[in-house]
Chains A and B, each alone.
Chain A
């Protein structure tokens, strides 16, 4: 079933919408959640939460790209769940590495207090990614949005693991400069 048809089912409040969403995007959402949670039961619960959230926001929202829309919801819910239940356990997986790498991007200055608006930060990140060369933008997105491991990114983009790692280092340095310029400092 096409995305437009699935969205129409949501607008008609037809429960088949959830079934069709699961058929088409169940594996995709599960892979996003799995990279963050690394636990089958948590992933299943996260998917249930995702479908419920989608059911609640459509209508009135009409997503332009349904795949990305549902992917973002899954990612947010999975990360919330990770923070709530797993932050203290630190059981490995991509998310730990990704978060540690992101820590490098945050300019360290504990003397200055900063109030950070999440929306503002999001728009800075978006602007930063838009201004990267296409391949670098894709590597960045693969690592820090989709939480994929280096080898998966390399395989998808036709690059060696070393090449991906080196590029990521360079992007993180650029991001740190940008965040410093924008006045974002470590809290």
Chain B
């Protein structure tokens, strides 16, 4: 037997193994792709979440401007009421302020929880929790 005969004898290797060589994708490439996909998905979620939070914040300022000012600077607000409102009106407004609750805060919290759970689900789907 010589080396040329040995080289020729490689012809007997099964087609499936030869095909596998062409189709092979290293695991590191797959993991890198998964990581890239998770990072991209996370960035998208953060951008969307940021936009929604900003929108919710704008609504809070527009709809509840008075309440926000009163909460931050009660003395200044009281002066404003003294100057601009009648005693009856002021009383009504204060009652409203005491009774009203900030719904936007709970919405934001829920939304953030939703985003977190979505990120967890994506990680689970892509099997990254075990990798890291």
Question: Using a CB–CB distance below 8 Å, which chain A residues touch chain B?
Answer: 64-65, 67-69, 71-72, 75-76, 79, 83, 98-100, 102-103, 105-106, 114, 116, 118-119, 121-126, 129-130, 134, 137-138, 141-142, 144-146, 156-159, 179, 184-187
Contact = CB atoms under 8 A, between A and B. Distances in A.
Interface size class of B (residues with CB under 8 A): 20 to 34
A125 B13 contact: yes
B2 A68 contact: no
B87 interface: no
Contacts of B5: 116, 118, 121
A106 B7 contact: no
B19 A122 contact: no
A130 B13 CA distance: 8
A138 B21 contact: yes
A69 B18 CA distance: 10
Interface string B1-17: 11111111111111111
Contact of A146 (B16, B21, B26, B28): B21
Contacts of B3: 99-100, 102-103, 106
A72 B9 CA distance: 11
Name the 9 nearest CB pairs between A and B, nearest first: A122-B12, A158-B26, A121-B9, A68-B15, A103-B3, A102-B3, A126-B12, A145-B10, A122-B9
B97 to A, nearest CB: 64
B7 A67 contact: no
Interface in B14-62: 14-22, 24, 26-29
A116 B27 CA distance: 40
Nearest to A122: B12
B19 A67 contact: yes
A186 B2 contact: yes
A141 B18 CA distance: 7
Contacts of A121: 1, 5-6, 9, 12
A68 to B, nearest CB: 4
Contacts of B26: 157-159
A121 B6 CA distance: 8
Given A68-B15, A125-B6, 20 more contacts: A69-B15, A79-B7, A99-B7, A102-B6, A106-B1, A119-B12, A121-B5, A121-B12, A124-B9, A125-B9, A126-B12, A129-B14, A138-B21, A141-B10, A141-B17, A145-B11, A145-B13, A146-B21, A186-B1, A186-B2
Nearest to A68: B15
A111 to B, nearest CB: 15
B79 to A, nearest CB: 71
14 contacts: A64-B15, A65-B16, A83-B4, A98-B7, A116-B5, A118-B8, A119-B12, A122-B9, A138-B24, A141-B21, A179-B1, A186-B1, A186-B2, A187-B2
A14 B85 CA distance: 96
A144 B26 CA distance: 20
A142 B2 CA distance: 21
